[in-house]
Amino acid sequence: MNNSKKIVLIGHFGVGKSSLVRRYVQNTFTDNYMVTIGVHIVKKEIQLNQKSITLIIWDIEGKDDIKKVRASYLIGTSGFIYVVDPTRPQTYEHITSEINFITTQYPKAKYLTVANKSDLIEPEEIKRLFDSLQIKIDYFASAKSGDEVSSVFENLAQQLLDNV
Amino acid sequence: MNDSEKLQRLKELLLDEDRDFAQKILHKLESLDQTIQTPEKLSEKVNPIIDKKLDVFVEEIPTKLGPTIADALTKSQDKVVEALFPIIGKMIKKYIQQEINQLTEKINSQVQDTFSIQKWQRKIKAFFSGVSEQEIILSEINKAKLEQIFVIEKGSGLLIASASNSESIDEDMIAGMLTAIKSFVEDAFINGQQSLESIQYELSEIYIQNFTSYYIAVVISGELNTSVKNELENKLFDFAQKNPISETTTKEELSLQLKTLLANE
């Protein structure tokens, strides 16, 4: 079988899922907010430690509850990226239960948690905020500046390659 | 100072003020005349006023003219149709004529090919099936043609293999989007219990054959009638039987098999 993997970005609307994908795949950013309807699928082929992997990235529309996401969009996913907006508490208040849902429903899938829009708050302040809430965030990224965006996808891709 | 000088002095005293006033008016008039006669100066003064009026006019068009136009169109539908009919009619007529000419040329070239094997095959087929030779020719002209085949993993929408007779956009993206559409339709309209079997668009159709862990999507141009559909189903079942998909199946070898399937079609 070929080495293509399905990656799905999940999170509330407006947290910057599409912006992260656009920054990673096209290296562009726009301030104009365009809501994703249904799903947008893009592809990126990368090389990691001389191994190639094709990421089929499903950027699905934002939902305030992961159970409201169409189950058929999540089936067969190898890696999830859970995105939150540190400036809007409602985007991470249920993160623990939602991550539990993912790990229960898709036990073989890998996942990473990402706080986007790190350009809006001092990184130390965001870390303190999530530490105080006992929420584990893997990456503090910014689709606007491009900071840590590639690291998110490459880390997940590496985990998927290691899992083969 | 003599009398005439006195009179002159008196005139100056009495009329100087009026003369100054008249002089000022004359200057004003000359300046206005110059403004009116010089287009650049005139437009400098008048343009801002016209622009402002135009802005107001544009703002008011939808509210003032919109209902009037809609009302006028509703009241005189017949007149509108009468005015547009010849133009649209001519366009449709021209298009149909062109299509008929192309069809006639194709039929003629097939009929005139008197000594071809196909002609005799057609005649025999017409004789035994009871279908006229013309109808057989028509069906041959719009014969279904397989353009692209995709083998796609169910759920993930990952492309397992593909083959194509024509250039298309990225096959991985097609596989993903097709799966998203299929999943959406199955969830939204057919309650997840049944499967989407085809997507039609103008002159082409995407025929979908579902298997346990994957599905095959075939892009077909031309007329996909029941007998062609049956034939296609049989071919896809044969293909699935001869090429079981497992973890060791490579994209390249399966794509090669699909290419053979397209070529033998």
Chain B contact for A54, CB < 8 A?
yes
Q: Is B248 helix (H, G, I), strand (E, B) or coil?
A: coil
Q: Answer for the pair B149, B262: CB distance below 8 angstroms, yes or no.
A: yes
pLDDT value, residue A148: 94
Residue of B nearest to A5 (CA): B158
Question: What is the Cα–Cα distance from A58 to B177, expressed in whole angstroms?
Answer: 9
The one-letter amino acid at A100: N
Closest CA to A52 of A109, A3, A110: A3
pLDDT band, very low/low/confident/very high, at B190 (cuts 50, 70, 90): low
Q: Answer for the pair B251, B171: CB distance below 8 angstroms, yes or no.
A: no
Per-residue pLDDT reduced to its tens digit, B72-112: 878 888 888 778 877 888 888 888 888 878 877 777 776 66
Chain B contact for A24, CB < 8 A?
no
Interface test with A, best of B183, B210, B245, B254 (most A CBs within 10 A): B183
Q: Are B251 and A2 inside 8 Å of each other by CB? A: yes
Kindly report the average pLDDT of chain B as a whole number: 83
Q: Are B158 and A76 inside 8 Å of each other by CB? A: yes
ipTM of this complex: 0.82
Please list the pLDDT of chain A residue by residue as tens digits (164 residues). Answer: 568 999 999 999 999 999 999 999 999 888 877 788 888 999 999 999 889 999 999 999 998 888 888 888 899 999 999 999 999 999 999 999 999 999 999 999 999 999 999 999 887 888 898 999 899 999 999 999 999 999 999 999 999 998 76
Q: Residue B60: CA atoms inside 13 Å, Cβ hemisphere, count?
A: 7
Q: Residue B130: CA atoms inside 13 Å, Cβ hemisphere, count?
A: 0
Q: Which helix (H) or strand (E) holds A43?
A: strand A39-48
Q: Are B180 and A39 inside 8 Å of each other by CB? A: yes
Tell me the shortest Cα–Cα distance from A103 to chain B, in angstroms.
Answer: 17
Question: What is the Cα–Cα distance from A66 to A153, expressed in whole angstroms?
Answer: 21
Residue of A nearest to B246 (CA): A1
pLDDT value, residue B113: 66
- Chain B residues with CB under 8 Å of A39 CB are 180
Chain B contact for A43, CB < 8 A?
yes
Instruction: Sketch out chain A's domains with CATH numbers.
Output: 4-119+140-152 (3.40.50.300)
Which residue from B187, B250, B251 is facing A70, i.e. has the nearest CB?
A: B187
pLDDT band, very low/low/confident/very high, at B192 (cuts 50, 70, 90): low
pTM: 0.67
Residue of B nearest to A60 (CA): B180
Tell me the shortest Cα–Cα distance from B245 to chain A, in angstroms.
Answer: 9
Q: Are A2 and B160 inside 8 Å of each other by CB? A: yes
Per-residue pLDDT reduced to its tens digit, B114-140: 667 777 777 787 788 777 777 777 666
Dihedral sign of CA atoms B216, A60, A97, A116 in order: positive
Chain B contact for A104, CB < 8 A?
no
Which residue from B156, B180, B248 is facing A38, i.e. has the nearest CB?
A: B180
Answer whether residue B151 shows pLDDT above 90: yes
Answer whether residue B252 shows pLDDT above 60: yes
